[in-house]
Amino acid sequence: MPKTTPNKSDKTYKRVLLKISGESMMGDRESGISNDASLEVAKKIKAVKDMGIEVAVVIGGGNIFRGLSASKSGFDRATADYMGMLATVMNGLALQDALNKVGVDNRVQSALTMPDVAEPFIRNKAIRHLEKDRVVILTAGIGSPYVTTDTGATLRALELHCDVVIKATKVDGVYNKDPFKHSDAKRYRTITYQDAILMPEVQVMDTSGLSMAMENGMRILVLEMFKDDNLLQACRGEDVGTLVSSEVETQLAD
């Protein structure tokens, strides 16, 4: 069947914050960055851009260095977190290279000052880039330790007036228990912020990120980015993944 070109009139959102894990850049590797995987991520982003949707991206660094894990193994927590921030910059540069290859105009901004490789994060400048149809790749978290990329993604989404945080994960939504351990796990179609925070078996993002989203009415959509056209379908408002919002009731998918 021939591929169809996304119709700009189908879009549900005007501006989205896409939160992707560092692991999405690994491909079949055990760690590091795969050029093929980076290109696949870039193509998914391009498809959303072709719908006329403005895209900001926050990328993790777990494929290179994970600050929290390192701190548990003996590193000073602040030092480990700064090292993790540098890993996100490396991923951001790899994603920039991949986006350039598929013809998507973009800018990398860093919360840590490193002018030779990235612009500093300046809120109004980032918004202007988005308005000029550029993808903005936001790296180095918020430039402070003890803050996860999930919380940083929520903060940046609020600062940039995004309509939703789309969190791309390894599973197609939020489940009532770990789907990798329990074959009878069921996906939530929608879930409230409060339930997402209070249910210990539900994993959406860290509590500080969820609380910030709840206090400011920022919707969160959790989905598996590499499954079929999940990301495009989500941007059209189709029933994909799990929506976290105060405007919904907690409900399992059929």
CATH number for 117: 3.40.1160.10
**Residues spanned by the domain of 127:** 8-252
For residues 187 and 178, the model is more confident at 187
Residue 133 lies in a domain: yes
Residue 203 lies in a domain: yes
pLDDT tens per residue, range 37-81? 999 999 999 999 999 999 999 999 989 987 767 777 788 999 999
Residue 37's pLDDT is what?
A: 93
Sheet holding 219-224, edge to edge: 119-120, 106-110, 135-139, 54-59, 15-20, 164-169, 219-224, 242-244, 188-191, 251-252
Closest CA to 223 of 187, 186, 197: 187
Residue 3's pLDDT is what?
A: 47
For residues 183 and 167, the model is more confident at 167
Residue 3 lies in a domain: no
| Total residues belonging to the chain | 254
pLDDT tens per residue, range 203-250? 888 899 999 999 999 999 999 988 888 899 998 888 899 999 999 999
Residue 168 lies in a domain: yes
Whose structure tokens read 């500080």? 208
Residue 41 lies in a domain: yes
Q: How confident is the model at residue 6 (pLDDT cuts 50, 70, 90)?
A: low
Residue 1 lies in a domain: no
Whose structure tokens read 């602040």? 78
Residue 187 lies in a domain: yes
Q: How many domains does the chain have?
A: 1
Residue 24 lies in a domain: yes
- Is the pLDDT reported for residue 251 higher than 60? yes
For residues 107 and 236, the model is more confident at 107
Closest CA to 135 of 68, 226, 59: 59
Residue 242's pLDDT is what?
A: 94
pLDDT tens per residue, range 114-152? 999 999 999 999 999 999 999 999 999 999 999 999 999
What is the pTM assigned to this prediction?
A: 0.91
